[in-house]
């Protein structure tokens, strides 16, 4: 059994903890938090051992009536691997801790690519992470783009990708984020950082991205244009993408017109936290004009990276190849709408 430590039990960390627990070859050794809150309470209710991430604040947990199993150092020392799901930039600060205990670590998309040996997307470059000690699971947007680009590159070759990312202002729990009544070019400079981030996954990919932020919390929306190396029929692209286990092609018959209904659908089918681990591509939007492919896809920012973290654990520890890991993760989590 792979013993997994999770440092940072917030939006991403708590989801990764549940996904790891669902794996037949993994165990959650414990989760670390900086302070008591509702997530610390539910961690204990779910029988996860809770560790204090900051020693000086450990007393706060006792004051809140929450039992602590020890300092985060004990957790890191005992684990086979750490999933660092702390806020952007904190992962970099934690790297020395993981090195001190010689424990391999996964970081999240908020960290810089140069912190790690490789960035990771299971469908695109699983093998690059095999045996690495420090690996970054790329952001929600980069994950979403990589999952579509990988099969297109393999099937047709990709000359150029252009993507406009209409990004949610904040996650539902991020009460301080915005905008609340505006549409922002964000970042206003072009290209946005997302394109270079996708290039950390693919060698020699030509991609430009533009970012915007809107008053929404549910999901991101990508408007994608890919110039392929061959003339392709839209029906063939639909068939190709439909084969991909982490791409959900929304059929016209479902009458899902946006993120709101997608989330409603996720709730109706009983998804935990209404999570949508798959890219949601509107099937009708898949169109071609000569070598140019166009489509719209919705990306659930809080959850699409979760199965990727599970696969990255197996990659780093050399426990499975890409196909085996993706299949097992999908089956145990229930990925595939």
Query: What's the CA gap between 44 and 41, in Å, rounded?
Result: 5
Interface with ligand NAD: number of residues (CB under 6 A): 27
- Report whether 195 belongs to an annotated binding site: yes
Nearer to ligand NAD, 174 or 189 (CB): 174
Query: Helix or strand or coil: residue 111?
Result: coil
Which are the contacts of 50, defined by CB distance < 8 A and separation ≥ 6?
Answer: 30, 31, 32, 33, 40, 43, 44, 61, 66, 67, 68, 69
- Report whether 271 belongs to an annotated binding site: no
Position of tokens 């790297």? 95
- List the one residue from 19, 49, 83, 86 that touches ligand NAD (CB under 6 A): 86
Neighbours of 67 (CB within 10 A): 9
- Report whether 220 belongs to an annotated binding site: no
Q: Which residue of the set 75, 135, 140, 286 is catalytic?
A: 140
According to DSSP, the β-strands at 292-299 and 220-228 are antiparallel
Q: Given the rule CB under 6 A, which of 80-88, 204-212, 228-236, 309-317 is the region that contacts ligand NAD?
A: 80-88
**CB 162 → ligand NAD: shortest distance, Å?**
22
Does 32 engage in binding with ligand NAD (CB under 6 A)?
yes
Q: Please give the residue whose beta carbon sits closest to ligand NAD in the complex.
A: 10
Q: Given the rule CB under 6 A, which of 16-24, 85-93, 238-246, 280-288 is the region that contacts ligand NAD?
A: 85-93
Nearer to ligand NAD, 53 or 166 (CB): 53
Does 9 engage in binding with ligand NAD (CB under 6 A)?
yes
Does 146 engage in binding with ligand NAD (CB under 6 A)?
no
- DSSP letter at 181 equals S
- Report whether 12 belongs to an annotated binding site: yes
163-193 burial code (b ≥16 CB/10 A, e <16): bebbbbbbeeeeeeeeeeeeeeebeeeeebe
Q: Which two tokens stand for residue 251?
A: 């059929």
- Report whether 259 belongs to an annotated binding site: no
100-139 residues in contact with ligand NAD (CB under 6 A) are 108-111, 139
- List the one residue from 46, 55, 88, 260 that touches ligand NAD (CB under 6 A): 88
From residue 176, how far is each of 54, 170, 172, 180, 187 by CA, in Å?
24, 8, 10, 10, 19
**CB 302 → ligand NAD: shortest distance, Å?**
5
Does 33 engage in binding with ligand NAD (CB under 6 A)?
yes
**CB 173 → ligand NAD: shortest distance, Å?**
7
- Report whether 11 belongs to an annotated binding site: yes
Q: Given the rule CB under 6 A, which of 83-91, 146-154, 237-245, 327-335 is the region that contacts ligand NAD?
A: 83-91
Query: What's the CA gap between 9 and 11, in Å, rounded?
Result: 7
Nearer to ligand NAD, 12 or 320 (CB): 12
280: annotated active-site residue: no
Position of tokens 């045996």? 131
From residue 274, how far is each of 139, 171, 266, 271, 304 by CA, in Å?
19, 13, 5, 5, 12
Does 142 engage in binding with ligand NAD (CB under 6 A)?
no
If residue 293 lies in a helix (H) or strand (E), which one and from where to where? strand 292-299
Please, are residues 149 and 143 in contact by the beta-carbon 8 Å criterion?
no
Query: What's the CA gap between 218 and 106, in Å, rounded?
Result: 26
Residues in the chain: 337
Task: Give the angle subtended at the CA of 183 by the CAs of 181 and 187, to the nearest 5°.
Answer: 130
Q: Which residues here bind ligand NAD, judged by CB under 6 A?
A: 7-13, 32-34, 39, 53, 85-88, 90, 108-111, 139-140, 171, 301-302, 305
- Which parts are annotated binding residues for NAD(+)? 11-12, 110, 168, 301
Q: Which parts are annotated binding residues for D-glyceraldehyde 3-phosphate?
A: 139-141, 194-195
Name the residues annotated as catalytic.
140
């Amino acid at each position: 059994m792979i013993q997994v430590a999770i440092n940072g039990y917030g939006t991403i960390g708590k989801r990764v903890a549940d996904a790891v627990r669902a794996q037949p070859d993994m165990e959650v050794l414990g989760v670390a938090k900086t302070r008591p809150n509702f997530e610390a309470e539910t961690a204990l209710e779910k029988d996860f051992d809770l560790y204090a991430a900051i020693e000086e604040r450990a007393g706060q947990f006792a004051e809140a009536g929450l039992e602590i199993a020890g300092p985060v150092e004990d957790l890191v020392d005992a684990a086979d691997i750490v999933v660092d799901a702390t806020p952007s930039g904190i992962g970099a600060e934690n790297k020395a801790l993981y090195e001190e205990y010689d424990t391999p670590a996964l970081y999240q998309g908020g960290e810089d690519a140069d912190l790690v040996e490789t960035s990771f997307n299971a469908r695109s470059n699983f093998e690059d992470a095999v045996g690495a000690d420090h690996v970054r699971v790329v952001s929600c947007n980069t994950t979403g783009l990589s999952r579509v680009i990988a099969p297109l590159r393999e099937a047709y070759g990709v000359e150029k990708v252009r993507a406009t990312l209409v990004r949610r202002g904040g996650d539902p729990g991020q009460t301080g984020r915005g905008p609340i009544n505006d549409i922002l070019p964000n970042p206003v400079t072009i290209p946005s950082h997302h394109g270079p981030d996708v290039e950390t996954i693919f060698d020699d990919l030509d991609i430009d991205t533009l970012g915007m932020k809107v008053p929404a919390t549910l999901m991101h929306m990508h408007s994608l244009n890919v110039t392929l190396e061959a003339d392709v029929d839209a029906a063939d692209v639909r068939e190709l993408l439909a084969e991909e286990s982490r791409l959900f092609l929304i059929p016209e018959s479902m009458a899902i017109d946006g993120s709101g209904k997608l989330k409603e659908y996720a709730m109706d089918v009983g998804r935990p936290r209404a999570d949508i681990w798959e890219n949601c591509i509107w099937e009708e939007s898949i169109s071609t004009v000569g070598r140019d492919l166009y489509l719209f896809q919705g990306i659930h920012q809080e959850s699409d990276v979760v199965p990727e973290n599970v696969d990255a654990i197996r990659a780093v520890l050399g426990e499975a190849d890409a196909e085996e890991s993706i299949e097992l993760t999908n089956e145990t989590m229930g990925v595939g709408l």
